[in-house]
Amino acid sequence: MSSETLFRRITDSRHRPDPYPLYAELREAGGVARQESGAYLVGTYHEINALLHDPRVSSDLRNRTEPDPGLLVPEGLPPAFIGIDDPEHDRLRRLTMRQFGPPCSPGRVDALHEEMEGIAEELADGLAGRDRVDLVDDFAFPLPVTVICRLLGVPHEDVQKLHTWADTVVASLDFAPGEDPEPRRRAAQEARMTMGTYLGELAGERRGSPAGDMLSGLVNDEGPEGRLTDLELMVTTVLLLIAGHETTVNLITNGMLTLLRHPGELERLRAHPELMPGAVEELLRYEPPVQMLPQRTALADIEIAGVTIPRGVPLILVLASGNRDPLRFPEPDRFDPTRSDNQHFGFGSGIHNCFGAPLARLETQIALTTLLRRLDTPRLLEDPPEYRNSPVLRGPRHLPVALT
Amino acid sequence: MRVVVDLNRCQGYAQCAFLAPRVFELHGDEALLYTPAVPAEQHERVLRAAAACPVQAIVVGEQAGAAGVR
């Protein structure tokens, strides 16, 4: 089949359980392939890496020659730092990082360690004694959601509400060929706005009475570069909430699915939990929750791998394909928790590398270690399980597992 | 336990400074300072930090002496 139809095939939900043969086809077609829509797919490691570090590649959809129709909705919030370029991206990311990590808040994630273990333990208590559980609804979903809400300072009783909004936003990332994307986009813009208004009001309540959470820090701390404006705060916290919510769920679920498919490795990790940090890195390579970055655009004609990517067209970097590139990783289709030299794209690379990566790493290490310790004989009940629709944020909708 | 960071590789992703903040410290946005002799209670954190380094710049263990880094 023609490499021009690869994107259509990758986004087809029939290929969701196993998109990897399509990625191999992309790499064999030279790694850079023009699509029938005019977009360009990139799927080889070194080319993706070069583009992620190339200042001529923009994350701002406003740089597309044919503007994304979703951008024309006047009532929508402006893009968050994930969707803009330096120097503005850098300013917003740094102001936000002041409240999350080093150099200003180096202990923020580390301080959550024991609490995360406690939440994981409590969720595992809820699995005990049951014949059959859904590892998504009963474990992988509530853990990161509880943690991100706790980190930001969202009260527990509002968590469900935020989840519903976050789901609506993420649904707009789905590609359903032949379907009019407009209603979904509009619903997503509305959900972002509602969520932003909620978070803005919550932050307003913390102004002058800080409660030790990130929202309090964002409204009260005045650094050398000032503070986020009210609108910037809304947009940024919506991003953190959604990103902290929809990706780690898939990392944990893909992780358990992969371990259940590799019982030898599962037993090894159960016996040697000190191998878990490396195993999570391998999961980020082997089954990354973010399969591709569909939002990039070339700011100039860029020549790469003998192909010229024209200025202004959509540029889609297929991270999960780069992660399986045999020119970079020996035996790339083998899951090897002790793999060395594992510089994967699970969290992207370059200036937009995942903001929440250290939190996601720790949550997943804790989640998987707890599950292996607490579940004696877990068994997959459906393989492959039913997947969520998105080809970008890919993961099972449910993961039914038998415990007896 | 000894630890060495190859500062030619380090690109300031700061994953180590999140995961083992008592051993790895950022000064300003990119300058990394660290404690080469790791106290016992920090071993687990340092192993997490080394695994997390996106450019694999952290060498841990007894081999992390002068010969550990090329």
Number of domains in chain B: 1
Please give the pLDDT value at position A26: 98
Closest CA to A169 of A297, A80, A63: A80
Contact flag B26-A103 (C-beta cutoff 8 Å): yes
Please give the pLDDT value at position A75: 58
Counting Cβ atoms within 10 Å, is residue A212 exposed (0-12), middle (13-18) or buried (19+)? exposed
A124 and A374 Cβ atoms separated by less than 8 Å: yes
Give pLDDT < 70 ranges for chain A.
Answer: 68-76, 173-178
Contact flag A277-B52 (C-beta cutoff 8 Å): yes
Interface of B with A (CB under 8 A): 13-15, 17-21, 25-29, 44-45, 47-48, 50-52, 54-56
Q: What is the DSSP code string of B52-67?
A: H-TT--EEESTT-SGG
Please give the pLDDT value at position A307: 97
The partner residues of A72 in beta bridges, in order of sequence, read none
Please give the pLDDT value at position A176: 64
Phi, psi of A17 (to 5 degrees): -60, -30
CA distance A45 to chain B (A): 14
Q: Could you tell me how many residues make up chain B?
A: 70
Give the single-character DSSP code of A385: P
Provide the residue range defining the domain that includes B42: 3-68
Please give the pLDDT value at position B70: 42
Q: Which among B18, B28, B55 is the nearest to A343, CB-wise?
A: B55
Q: Which among A109, A274, A343 is the nearest to B18, CB-wise?
A: A109
Give the domain A3-402 fold.
Cytochrome p450 (1.10.630)
CA distance A343 to chain B (A): 6
Q: Identify whether A87 is preceded by a cis peptide bond (ω within 30 of 0).
A: yes
Contact flag A365-B26 (C-beta cutoff 8 Å): no
**ipTM score over 0.95, yes or no:** no
Q: What is the DSSP code string of A205-237?
A: HHTTS--SSHHHHHHH--BTTB---HHHHHHHH
State how far the Cα of A85 lies from the Cα of A95, in Å rounded to an integer: 15
Contact flag B54-A365 (C-beta cutoff 8 Å): no
A13 and A397 Cβ atoms separated by less than 8 Å: no
Contact flag A343-B29 (C-beta cutoff 8 Å): no
A170 and A390 Cβ atoms separated by less than 8 Å: yes
CA distance A79 to chain B (A): 24
State how far the Cα of A79 lies from the Cα of A334, in Å rounded to an integer: 38
Please give the pLDDT value at position A30: 97
A127 and A137 Cβ atoms separated by less than 8 Å: no
Please give the pLDDT value at position A189: 87
Chain B CB within 8 Å of residue A273 CB? no
Please give the pLDDT value at position B67: 44
Q: Could you tell me the CA-to-CA distances from B20 to A14, B28, B41 in Å, in that order?
A: 42, 17, 11
Give pLDDT < 70 ranges for chain B.
Answer: 62-70
Please give the pLDDT value at position A92: 96
Q: What is the DSSP code string of A89-146?
A: HHHHHHHHHTTTSTTTSTTHHHHTHHHHHHHHHHHHHHHTT-SEEETIIIIITHHHHH
Q: Which among B14, B21, B28 is the nearest to A107, CB-wise?
A: B21
Chain B CB within 8 Å of residue A94 CB? yes
* Domain locations along chain A: 3-402
CA distance B21 to chain A (A): 6
Contact flag B15-A278 (C-beta cutoff 8 Å): no
Cβ-Cβ contacts under 8 Å, B35 against chain A: none
Interface A–B counts its CB contacts (< 8 A) at: 65
Chain B CB within 8 Å of residue A350 CB? no
Model confidence over A159-207: pLDDT tens digits?
889 888 988 888 776 666 667 878 888 888 889 999 999 999 999 999 9
Please give the pLDDT value at position B69: 44
A110 to chain B: closest CA residue:
B19
Chain B CB within 8 Å of residue A361 CB? yes
Cβ-Cβ contacts under 8 Å, B47 against chain A: 274, 277
Contact flag A103-B29 (C-beta cutoff 8 Å): yes
CATH classification at residue B25: 3.30.70.20
CA distance B28 to chain A (A): 6
State how far the Cα of A232 lies from the Cα of A89, in Å rounded to an integer: 11
DSSP run (H or E) holding A198: helix A182-206
Cβ-Cβ contacts under 8 Å, B20 against chain A: 110
CA distance B55 to chain A (A): 6
Give the number of other CB atoms < 10 A from CB of residue B49: 27
Cβ-Cβ contacts under 8 Å, B55 against chain A: 343
Cβ-Cβ contacts under 8 Å, A359 against chain B: 18
Residue A265 amino acid letter: E
